[in-house]
Amino acid sequence: MKELFGIIGNPIAHSLSPLIQNESYELHEINAHFQAFHVEHEDLESAIKGMKAIGIKGFMVTVPFKAEVIPFLDEVDPIAEKKKAVNVVQLIDGKYVGFNFDGEGCLKALLEDMNRQSLQNENILILGAGGAAQSIYYTLSHFDDVHIDLANRTIEKAEALKELGGNHRHTSVISLEEAEIKQNEYDIIIQTTSIGMWPDIDQSAINITNLKKGAFVSDIIYNPAETKILKQAREIGANTQNGIKMLAFQNALSIEKWTGQKVNYQKMIDSLTKALR
């Protein structure tokens, strides 16, 4: 009998995880099927209980349930607990345990496209302080010798996010307006807000006009494949990256967690790129 994995969200019809997960199962001969489940807010608890009752060994969690799901899990890994957001759940010894791979996926994608093993001495700007930014900031703040500016529309959220970095010595909170003015000071800019996402493709968190030579600009949005901010950055010579690789890494990490099987994430990237064209 096939193992069943899935993703819960609302809305969920647009999710590309079923496509790349099912392709991976086929490619690696994993006897499983991946299904998207649309869940209403008031049904979240019973949905989780139902999934456990029918023996689902793992599922992904997306907007708007990444924080809401926590009270209904049996355990949360300390990193996801700190980030207060879960995006992958695994059944371990009869308990649903929550994890968060947003930060790990983003860092892996960054390092790979920058052709680096680690981060050191970079001046980094993170635009946004939402769920994804939390996880990304938490991960990046473990590199003690990078400087990180956190810029968000709601400054209080960025201030609260700074606390998540614990004893990170080089983090400052600034406004989006300040970030736009200081844009040529950064080696890496990571755009994590939802601004610029389809259908609002003519919007961006800041206007890019003047970047440091060799700057790397990453936007974790993957639809559209090139957001306004990435287009502006590319046009003035920056290296850019969209959210496809991060999404692929997270799906690959979840399969590895659930089945122990390492998968070919390049195939996932190719399928996502084709689907989003």
What beta strand segments (E) does the chain contain? 3-9, 32-38, 58-61, 75-76, 88-92, 95-99, 123-127, 147-151, 171-174, 188-191, 216-219, 239-241
Return d(Cα 108, Cα 95) in angstroms, integer. Answer: 28
Q: Does 139 bind ligand NAP (CB under 6 A)?
A: no
- The minimum distance between CB 145 and ligand NAP, in angstroms, equals 26
Q: Return the residues of window 211-230 that contact ligand NAP according to CB under 6 A.
A: 220-222
Q: Return the residues of window 72-111 that contact ligand NAP according to CB under 6 A.
A: 102, 105
Q: Which of 124, 133, 211, 229 binds ligand NAP (CB under 6 A)?
A: 133
Q: Which of 10, 90, 123, 194 binds ligand NAP (CB under 6 A)?
A: 194
Instruction: Please name the amino acid found at residue 274.
Output: K
Judged by CB under 6 A, which stretch of 24-32, 142-150, 161-169, 245-253 contacts ligand NAP? 245-253
Catalytic machinery residues: 66
Q: How many residues does this entry show for the chain? A: 277
Q: Which of 47, 243, 253, 263 binds ligand NAP (CB under 6 A)?
A: 243
Nearer to ligand NAP by Cβ, of 120 and 207: the residue is 207
- The minimum distance between CB 30 and ligand NAP, in angstroms, equals 21
Side-chain-side CA neighbours of residue 264 (13 Å): 13
Instruction: Please name the amino acid found at residue 231.
Output: K
Judged by CB under 6 A, which stretch of 14-22, 37-45, 180-188, 240-248 contacts ligand NAP? 240-248
Site size for ligand NAP (CB under 6 A): 25
Strands 88-92 and 58-61: antiparallel
Instruction: Please name the amino acid found at residue 260.
Output: G
Q: What is the DSSP letter of 97?
A: E
- The minimum distance between CB 133 and ligand NAP, in angstroms, equals 6
Return d(Cα 57, Cα 80) in angstroms, integer. Answer: 19
Q: Does 197 bind ligand NAP (CB under 6 A)?
A: yes
Return d(Cα 153, Cα 70) in angstroms, integer. Answer: 26
Cα 227 to chain centroid, rounded: 16
Q: Does 154 bind ligand NAP (CB under 6 A)?
A: yes
Give the interface with ligand NAP as residue ranges (CB under 6 A).
Answer: 63, 102, 105, 128-133, 152-154, 157, 192-195, 197, 220-222, 243, 246-247, 250
